[in-house]
Amino acid sequence: MGGREELINAFFSWGAILIGRFVLTSGKESHYYINVKRLITNPEILRLISKLIVDETRGRGIEFDRVAGPELGAVPIATAVALETERPLVIVRKKPKGHGTGRRIEGEVNPGERILLVEDVTTTGGSVLRAAKIIEELGGRVVAVSVVVDREEGAEEIVGKHYTFLPLVRVSELLEGKNGWEKGT
């Protein structure tokens, strides 16, 4: 597999864009759903996503010590990037573990470490900002947020105020003449 165009095509060939009525993590309603999880269950596409993330960070001179991803959708992506770069993985929980150690992360974050935070889809950016806050409370420094798809509903502006924001694909790119698919209202 190749570059961004191949990733964009995969959304259509793998049926990763659903039309209907959906409630997003942000609480917003949408007439379409971007199902990156459908793509990342395919090893070839997951490898492509990982390569694109690594190429983008290297191309921008972004260096990092660890790769982090909030559960659930970002974990396979973060794992693939960790394997590609041979950097340790950090999994950020949505809620503290209710048993055992009660940890908010799996893996470790040491003071001053540079963290690349990855996510599958962003709408408003709330999920990645919560994950970044947890990492920073542990002493880490988020150097960039890389997302597979930005829905272009505020995440870039909000997240971009605090961190370098690196979307692989914007929803407008998916809209450009692909199979007659149109963004709902």
- 168: domain CATH number? 3.40.50.2020
> What does the pLDDT read at residue 171?
93
**What pLDDT is stored for residue 184 in this prediction?**
45
Q: How far apart are CA 155 and CA 135, in angstroms?
A: 19
Mean pLDDT by 10 residues, the chain (185 residues): 86 92 86 93 97 97 98 95 98 78 88 98 93 97 98 95 97 73 47
Range of the domain at 124: 4-175
Give domain status of residue 156, yes or no: yes
The burial of 27, by beta-carbon neighbours within 10 Å (0-12 exposed, 13-18 middle, 19 or more buried), is given as: exposed
Structure tokens belonging to residue 61: 């001179």
Specify if 10 maps to a domain. Answer: yes
